[in-house]
A and B are shown apart, each in its own frame.
Chain A
Amino acid sequence: GEDVEQSLFLSVREGDSSVINCTYTDSSSTYLYWYKQEPGAGLQLLTYIFSNMDMKQDQRLTVLLNKKDKHLSLRIADTQTGDSAIYFCADRLFFGTGTRLTVIP
């Protein structure tokens, strides 16, 4: 299958920005996605980006896409304790292993 890779852990202080990075291999994905998983719950779609876009902003979330390098990132501005969760990037079929974001008060 296609590989989607992420780092496993990220810790930030409350109020700082978080940046979660992802690399993928499937260049045919029309959309790329970010999902959020809170403890004990399933994954929920957080945001997406169309493959012909470089950037998408949605309130505190900014998604950057570098198609040449097949690199996707999610920036969360003014990170709050409620943002603590596991974040998954995904292409049309495969998910990364998830990045566990811990927000330190």
Chain B
Amino acid sequence: DAGVIQSPRHEVTEMGQEVTLRCKPISGHNSLFWYRQTMMRGLELLIYFNNNVPIDDSGMPEDRFSAKMPNASFSTLKIQPSEPRDSAVYFCASSFRTGQGTGKNGYTFGSGTRLTVV
């Protein structure tokens, strides 16, 4: 397996533009997570899906952020309109979760998308 694949690796956009980040989880994993990492706030959970269904989006900063998972092999995180304070590294992670949680294999992270909004 190629691991969790995120695209693009880097994105530079102007304030007000729409940004779409993409993620392909590991085949067979049933949970997908979007995180944001900044120096000031560390790693923040934005939203996670279980079996393609959004379970908890309480970490999504505001209505400008939206996430979808139309099928088990693809998810998007969209920011519209983007603002400079959205600049961060956005990580996607996937795992196989049972009723006991994630298990000893934990989460597998993608390499992240570094977003810069100017």
Contacts and interface: CB of A to CB of B under 8 A. Distances in A.
Contacts of A35: 106-107, 109
B107 A98 contact: no
Contacts of B48: 93
B77 to A, nearest CB: 15
Interface in B30-58: 35, 41-43, 45, 48, 56, 58
B76 interface: no
Interface residues of B, number: 25
B42 A50 contact: no
B106 A95 contact: no
A8 B59 CA distance: 21
A94 B42 contact: no
B45 A95 contact: yes
Contact of A90 (B41, B100, B106): B106
A42 B106 contact: no
Contacts of B109: 35, 42-44
Nearest to A45: B106
B43 A45 contact: no
Contacts of A29: 101
Interface of B: 4, 35, 41-43, 45, 48, 56, 58-59, 91, 93, 100-112
